[in-house]
Structure 1
């Protein structure tokens, strides 16, 4: 199963439409999407606007690949689960967010071995095909997939802190270590 999540604050129809396009060509692979506040319907996705924590965790555990916006909570959950992650950051120039912090975050996360960053539908489809081609069970071994402990600690500290320093500047040295 492919699990997609766009967070709960804003709809992200560009990502979901790209995923729906891929799902139309791969009907043998179930795709479940947590869509947030989107009113759009998708012919080839099983959609759920919101999920409680237990349901969300179950979907992450079951997923072969996670497709996500570049929200830190989604990224951290996928990394901790050792799942391959495909990030499509929201773009301010397309009216998907108020600024490009998700693009900055995705650029930093791209250094991790189990993270692929895409910007459009074609790249998303290619990344999904590549992730699934790596094997039936695309879950990576915990020793190679999970980010180094200092990175996870820095991400947690950033998410739960009151600081306003952008994550990419604070995490850059950890990703290169």
Structure 2
């Protein structure tokens, strides 16, 4: 199953939803797809979707997925990586009114450079990205949370 998550900020990401719809309609994607579409106003015709999922629904969808396609949000990417999912991240673009700036392009590039995710900056390349990801091996995500907490505790003890 492919799970698409577009976050909960008040920006549309119709470009990505349309690309997946085209790939599904053409038969280039034949996996089950479910999308959490957020504030997008495009309504997919060839796969199931819901605007927002509660925490449990979101967790269940991520658990079921073999691949997670997401926007370039840090939380969405890290959440999928923690569950050891293959991630294709498509950054939102300011020029398409998908966000206020292009910081997601930088974030996605950093995660890609660390070999944690597959970067897909162009929705027209999404079909190829899905084919490539099937056989790719990614590095494991290592959280720094415990190191940060230990550092803060050390500081507070002083």
Between the aligned partners of 1:124 and 1:53, the Cα distance in structure 2 is 27
Between the aligned partners of 2:22 and 2:123, the Cα distance in structure 1 is 8
Could you list the structure 1 runs, at least 4 aligned residues long, displaced by more than 6 angstroms after superposition.
none
TM-superposed CA distance for 1:128, in Å, is 0.8
Between the aligned partners of 2:21 and 2:114, the Cα distance in structure 1 is 26
Q: CA RMSD in A?
A: 2.1
Between the aligned partners of 1:43 and 1:114, the Cα distance in structure 2 is 31
Q: Number of paired residues?
A: 146
Between the aligned partners of 2:30 and 2:106, the Cα distance in structure 1 is 34
Aligned to 2:13: 12
CA contact (8 A) 1:87 1:117 kept: yes
CA contact (8 A) 1:84 1:131 kept: yes
Between the aligned partners of 2:99 and 2:143, the Cα distance in structure 1 is 30
TM-superposed CA distance for 1:44, in Å, is 1.1
Question: Which consecutive residues of structure 1, in runs of 5 or more, have no partner in the other structure?
Answer: 158-177
CA contact (8 A) 1:83 1:145 kept: no
Aligned to 1:80: 82
State which structure, 1 or 2, has the greater radius of gyration over its C-alpha atoms. 2
1:48 corresponds, among 44, 47, 50, to 50
TM-score when scaled to structure 2? Answer: 0.83
Between the aligned partners of 1:22 and 1:34, the Cα distance in structure 2 is 18
